[in-house]
Amino acid sequence: MNIYFRKQLVLYMIYIILLLLFIGIELIYFKIADHYNIIDKPNSRSSHSSITLRGGGIIFPIAILIAAFLGYVSWVVVLAVVLVAVVSFIDDIKPLSQLPRFASHAIAICLVFYDLNLFNQAIWILPIIFILLIGWVNVFNFMDGINGITVLYAFVTVVSFSFLSINKDCLTLLITMGLSCCVFGIFNVRKKAKTFAGDVGSISMALFLGYFMIKTILLSGQIGYLLFLSVYGIDGIITIFTRIKKKENIFEPHRSHLYQYLANELGYSHILVSFIYAGVQIVINVGIIYLDSKGDLSLPIVISFLVIEILTYLWIRKKVVQKVSLVNA
């Protein structure tokens, strides 16, 4: 057996051990959450109807932490993810005010900037990236409302990143995060979920994906990879603007995302809706990867993709809202 195959065998063994370790950690957390009553109680704004353990997404920052011990990611990134995870976990247990949450996000983003050497970039671009990353973290958190949607979407994004040759040096990190998604999915992608990600899961994963998106764009020089996050981004941003137009408080819980209309008002299976969101993003990502491999992913193409996505989303949303109005009439 040559050295290459030995290394590959060792790597596969590490992945198997990680998978079993993540399952064990998740099961231990369930015991802790059950003992300390860390639960999600349904209310009028919820998309679920039964009490469910909250915070199962704690496996995501733990996976990042383990990846750092294995040398897959820098400790600066770990510090950023763990910081938002700790504050978010506290918020899951006892709701915090906006200030500590925003402060943790801001500090974490500055750590991401430091790790990616963004402070060496033109000063005018930093506020733009900061606002986009803050917005992304919150949009991703807002989108975490039905079984399976967060973990399936995260898994699709992680897998998409792993197919890019520029990320080959980060493949072990991406596989580690993919394994954590698989384990969480075992307990979440169900008709009746065993656990929800909680803010600890959705926000830490959002920060990781945002970090990796910036890293990928810097390595490739291709801004078109932003479309890897476009399905969530479009739904989240348009819903926010719609709520602002209605003079609603955008920080309060609501049921006005497209996926919520489909799952709550029209009665589609939560899992089906989650797979639709992930499936649409897969199709887009495959198209982006293919076009870039052919050297055809120009800025006009990227803009055209985005415009088509937005117009399609608006058309579907209009039809769904009309149908909801008829059902509720």
Q: Collapsing DSSP states into helix, strand and coil, what is residue 39?
A: strand
pTM: 0.94
Q: Collapsing DSSP states into helix, strand and coil, what is residue 52?
A: strand
> Domain coordinates of the chain in residue numbers?
3-38+52-328
How many other CB atoms are found less than 10 A from the CB of residue 57? Answer: 33
| Cβ 277 vs Cβ 231: under 8 Å | yes
Amino acid at 41: K
For the chain (329 residues), the mean pLDDT of every run of 10, in chain order, is 77 94 97 90 58 93 96 96 97 92 97 95 91 95 92 98 93 97 96 94 98 96 96 94 86 84 92 97 96 92 95 96 86
